[in-house]
A and B are shown apart, each in its own frame.
Chain A
Amino acid sequence: MSHFNLDIVTPTQDLDEIEVDYLRCPGIDGSFGIMANHQDGVFSLDIGEIMIQSKSDTKFYSISGGFAEINNNEVCLLVETIELSSDIDISRAESAFQRANERKNNSNEEDFDEVRLKTALSRALNRLQVAKR
């Protein structure tokens, strides 16, 4: 199987470039896959799970939104946060989930921000889901 280089960059770290056979990303309009020799482009990513299949293994990561750029058979993921499924802090995600739920119950408060609540909820849920992998 032909492969391509994947570079994952976040504001706080630059992961080593890896050789990948198949990459699955959560796009804004549903998840999509990237294989070698994909057409160039820029794709917006949602909160969700990415799957990286390489020669040796398959790994799952949780991300909280970002962008994927494909340039000359090189893929770069610009994401705000990324965690390997086994590195996810489950208790932290659970407490975030609870906090968000509490906020939902107090939704008549003045500074209530629905968008923020929804993203917080989906981030927490996504982390919990990916952690089960």
Chain B
Amino acid sequence: MANLKDIRDRIKSVRSIQKVTKAMKMVAAAKMRRAQERMEQARPYTNRLVDVIHHLLPDVDRSLLPLLDIRPIQRVGYVIVASDRGLAGSFNTNVFKNVEIEINQIGKENVDLFCIGKKARDHFTRRGYTIIESHLEFWNDLDFHHAIKIGENIINHFVSKKVDEIHVCYNEFVNVATQTIQSEQLLPLDYKHEDSSTVFDRLYEPSKKELTKSLIPRHLNVQMWKYLLESYASEQAARMVAMENATENAEDMIKNLTLEFNKARQASITKEMLEIVGGAEALK
């Protein structure tokens, strides 16, 4: 049986780790609440804009805008939205796994990556992927301008014909306990064919073409913003759950160790008593 001091030291270290995980859980919970709020505020705008675009696009010629251009696919760009920090359960690994499966279908050498978050950059650099750009350490003061900045280069990469398609892979926030991996095609813009119920008697000012030209870049910015917000909220939720589990596990460990400790203590007392009794017996 392990010696008493060793067990006592282990209990102490587990307890201090538990304090850390507990604190991390609280921080993640607070951050998540804020992120969730922002995400919910952004959703109406995104949805409305998508509605307007779906009204407009079916009548617009694809050759009008380079962003609508459908080309034969030779190279594909992937945008991977992950996090800067770990300790968030399977938050990052799930995204990576999903992206790798998709990339394997096209071939590693035909893919350009845009990594958002340190973990994504580290993971894909180590495995020798072509990384065009990575964006790190902005999550703490996440702002709409970040989305615009990140989106700008990605869009340029597509417009300059370096890639023929852009996909985005991110964690979608469903609720605190579940985040699902989403993989969407960002460019060229895809839209469902409108049903015939569309109202044709509508005014467009300026022309439909002009409207589309100014709407689509905005739409892409907003999409990017949505991805960032969803991913950030998911990250915090995943971390919160992971840390909650860690705290519980630490509790279990402490319980088991305490039991072991008491057993060991009892054994040593018994042993001592036996020695005393044996000694007294010998003196008789």
Contact = CB atoms under 8 A, between A and B. Distances in A.
B48 A28 contact: no
A28 B199 CA distance: 23
A12 interface: yes
B211 A42 contact: yes
Interface of A (DSSP majority class): strand
A67 B45 CA distance: 11
B253 interface: no
A40 B201 contact: yes
A12 B205 CA distance: 26
A28 B205 contact: yes
A11 B229 CA distance: 11
Q: Is the interface on chain B under 10, 10 to 19, 20 to 34, or 35 or more residues?
A: 20 to 34
B45 A42 contact: no
B206 A44 contact: yes
Interface in A43-101: 43-44, 67, 69-70, 76, 78, 80
A80 B215 CA distance: 12
A13 B225 CA distance: 13
Interface in B209-225: 210-211, 214-215, 218, 222, 225
B49 interface: yes
Contacts of A117: none
B225 A41 contact: no
B202 interface: yes
A40 B210 contact: no
Contacts, number: 64
Nearest to A29: B206
Contacts of A9: 44-45, 48
Nearest to A70: B203
Contacts of A67: 49, 52, 211, 215
A42 B56 CA distance: 9
A11 B225 contact: yes
Interface residues of A, number: 21
Contacts of A69: 48, 52
Nearest to A66: B218
A41 B205 contact: yes
A129 to B, nearest CB: 23
Contacts of A43: 203-205
Contacts of A28: 205-206, 210
A13 B222 CA distance: 13
Given A78-B48, A78-B52, A41 B204 contact: yes
B144 interface: yes
Nearest to B55: A42
Contacts of B218: 80
Nearest to A39: B203
B38 interface: yes
Nearest to B147: A11
B273 interface: no
**Chain A CB within 10 Å, residue with most, of B38, B44, B204:** B44
A12 B211 CA distance: 23
B42 interface: yes
25 contacts: A9-B45, A10-B45, A11-B144, A11-B222, A11-B225, A12-B41, A28-B210, A39-B201, A39-B202, A40-B199, A41-B202, A41-B203, A42-B55, A42-B56, A42-B202, A42-B205, A43-B205, A44-B205, A44-B206, A44-B210, A44-B214, A67-B52, A78-B45, A78-B48, A80-B218
Interface of B: 38, 41-42, 44-46, 48-49, 52, 55-56, 144, 199, 201-206, 210-211, 214-215, 218, 222, 225
Complex A-B, nearest 3 residue pairs according to Cβ-Cβ distance, in ascending order: A41-B203, A9-B45, A14-B44
Given A39-B202, A42-B211, 12 more contacts: A11-B42, A11-B225, A29-B205, A40-B199, A40-B202, A41-B202, A41-B204, A42-B52, A44-B211, A69-B48, A76-B48, A78-B52
